[in-house]
Amino acid sequence: MEPCPVFIGGRWFTPDGLPTSPVHNPSTGEVIAECPLGDAALVNAAVQAASDAFPVWSETPPIERARIFFRYRQLIETNFDKLCKLVSREHGKTLSEARGDVYRGMENVEYACGAPTLLMGDTLENLARRVDCETVLQPLGVCAGITPFNFPVMVPMWMFPLALVCGNTFVLKPSEKVPLSAVLLIELLQEAGLPEGVLNLVHGGRESVDTLLTHPTVRAISFVGSSPVAKYIHETGTKHGKRVQANGGAKNYIVIMPDADMPKSIEALATAAFGCAGERCMAGSTAITVGAAADKMLPSLTEAAKAIRVGRTDIEQQPDMGALISAAHRDRVVSLIDGGADQGAKVLCDGRGVKVDGAPNGFYVGATIVDQVASEMTIAQEEIFGPVLNVMRTDKLDEAIELANRSAYGNGAAIFTQSGHAAREFKHRVKAGMVGVNVGVPATVAMFPFTGWDASFYGDLHIQGKEGVQFYTQQKVITSRWFGSEVEDVWRK
């Protein structure tokens, strides 16, 4: 069994007397660790350690904070393969997908290394006669991050690197399903020279989350997860006076026009729908075909989906797709496919009941395509978070945009077309925060904010980029005027 300690005040330890939650290898169903479910006392200790570290860390020059993250970036690169294998083992991603997870996380570290520039303010001399004005960005205090299972490295690194270089201290609570990657991430940051108490790690469930949301010392909360929980996080955190950025779920639409480059569109659509086994909030979970696009696309797309090899990701011979995170989640995905079929949709490629040699207890669902999905069906309304592509048919682009805009979510949307006019209409009118034109997964990179809309995001300032810097800092405006007899004499002449 892998150790799963907490990290508080610069000390690693496994708390005694707490209940635990099993950490599985999804490829086999084997329990590989027991994650301690922290209570309020444990979280309070982590917050206190972060609070104690804040005065010195906040006064550390930004360039010195950045140097720690330059060293951290090098350590991540040195331990890149180790991190990827750990992500694959506890999550079920393929090694290729795990590399993407770690690499995208590392990009956020690289962005954070620009702290001296990111934290620069503005100045204006002679705002009025002999009056100067300047702005400075100062840290908030103790911040906290609550992260999901689907990107064990990238999502925590959306949060703590930028929060720390901005001068805050931090408490990280990763998903209890994938705690081991977070342990390694913090071990490497400790090796890079981060002072004690600046970053703390706790594990847990509802009690840990509620303690962070209501703790009077915590100034800001960053969250990624499902929309119902994101809504709860935002409402509870803001009620207790905290800044909150809470990213929720999604139902992302990809419109396929009849003039699209079909081979390239099919390749991109398969990646968007089935990559990471569909366990990502930017998954292209619904294709809306316009006119003749369905007949041009579906035969080849169905062949491509059936050819996707599902298997263990903890062995040298890698499959195209790994397992889902848990048996319960696998069963939920299967039940949604069942419900779609019962309500009249047509399953063109069926991933239910897929078997993997040597892994009878793994949590597998194969690539699935469900055609003739109607908007009133449950499968069309709920976020599936699995390797399932819904296909909805329309006659015109206007209908496709209207159909996409009915969704309560607003994370991502994309269009595949060779028409500049169609692309312009779509990107202007579709109600989503991230839009792709001939790009199936329009997820942003570190220097741009991750801009979900509507039920996909609760808050004001988004994760990543300049908005991330704004979220983790507070702006002070200073207006100055200095008096002196020599200056007065010169002025009077």
HSE (side-chain half, CA atoms, 13 Å) at 105? 29
Say if residue 270 is in the same domain as residue 170: no
Tens digits of per-residue pLDDT, 94-152?
Answer: 999 999 999 999 999 999 999 999 999 999 999 999 999 999 999 999 999 999 999 99
CA distance 451 to 461: 9
Flag whether 445 is in a domain. Answer: no
CB-CB contact of 253 with 408 (8 Å): no
- Among the candidates 406, 437, 468, a domain finishes at 437
Question: Domain check: are 192 and 261 in the same one?
Answer: no
Q: Which long-range contacts (CB under 8 A, 24 or more apart) does 115-121 make?
A: 115/62, 115/63, 115/65, 115/66, 115/69, 115/165, 115/166, 116/62, 116/63, 116/66, 118/165, 118/166, 118/466, 118/469, 119/62, 119/165, 119/166, 119/469, 119/473, 121/475
| φ, ψ at 146 (rounded to 5°) | -120, 115
Whether 442 is in a domain gets the answer: no
Asked whether residue 40 is domain-assigned, the answer is: yes
- pTM of model > 0.75: yes
What does the alpha-carbon distance between residue 6 and residue 36 come to, in Å, rounded to a whole number? Answer: 8
How deeply is 290 buried, as exposed, middle or buried, from its count of CB atoms within 10 A (0-12, 13-18, 19+)?
buried
For residues 115 and 493, give the distance between their C-alpha atoms in angstroms, rounded to a whole number: 45
306 in the same domain as 204: no
Beta bridge partners of 6: 13
Among 35, 84, 143, 281, the one annotated catalytic: 281
Q: Which of 97, 135, 104 is nearest to 448 (CA)?
A: 104
Q: Is residue 489 part of a domain?
A: no
Q: Quote the tokens at residue 155.
A: 């999502």
Is residue 103 classed exposed, middle or buried when 0-12, 13-18 and 19+ CB atoms within 10 A define those classes? middle
**Residue 58 sits in the same domain as residue 40:** yes
229 shares its domain with 83: yes
Rounded distance, CA 364 to CA 25, Å? 12
Answer yes or no: do 410 and 301 share one domain.
yes
Give the contacts of 441 (CB within 8 A, at least 6 positions apart): 271, 272, 275, 280, 282, 283, 284, 412, 414
331: left (phi over 0), alpha (psi -120 to 50) or beta: alpha
Q: Has residue 446 been placed in a domain?
A: no
CATH number at residue 314: 3.40.309.10
Q: Pick from 151, 69, 175: which is nearest to 103 by CA?
A: 151
**Residue 484 falls inside a structural domain:** no
- CATH number for the domain spanning 23: value is 3.40.605.10
Q: What's the number of domains the chain is made of?
A: 2
How many Cα neighbours within 13 Å face the side chain of 247?
A: 28
Residues 375 and 239 in one domain: no
For residue 349, give its domain range. 253-437
Q: pLDDT digit of tens for each residue in the chain (493 aa)?
A: 999 999 999 999 999 999 999 999 999 999 999 999 999 999 999 999 999 999 999 999 999 999 999 999 999 999 999 999 999 999 999 999 999 999 999 999 999 999 999 999 999 999 999 999 999 999 999 999 999 999 999 999 999 999 999 999 999 999 999 999 999 999 999 999 999 999 999 999 999 999 999 999 999 999 999 999 999 999 999 999 999 999 999 999 999 999 999 999 999 999 999 999 999 999 999 999 999 999 999 999 999 999 999 999 999 999 999 999 999 999 999 999 999 999 999 999 999 989 999 999 999 999 999 999 999 999 999 999 999 999 999 999 999 999 999 999 999 999 999 999 999 999 999 999 999 999 999 999 999 999 999 999 999 999 999 999 999 999 999 999 998 766 555 555 5
For residue 374, being part of any structural domain is answered with: yes
Query: Is the domain of 205 the same as that of 311?
Result: no
The Cα–Cα gap between 274 and 198 comes to 38
Q: Which two tokens stand for residue 488?
A: 């007065």
Are residues 460 and 427 part of one domain? no
| One domain, residues 92 and 153 | yes
Structure tokens at 76: 């991540």
Q: What whole-number distance in Å separates Cα of residue 267 and Cα of residue 416?
A: 12
In a shared domain, residues 198 and 271: no
**Is 349 noted as a catalytic residue in this protein?**
no
Please check whether residues 244 and 257 belong to one and the same domain. no
Does 411 fall in a domain?
yes
Beta-strand relationship, 473-480 and 131-139: antiparallel
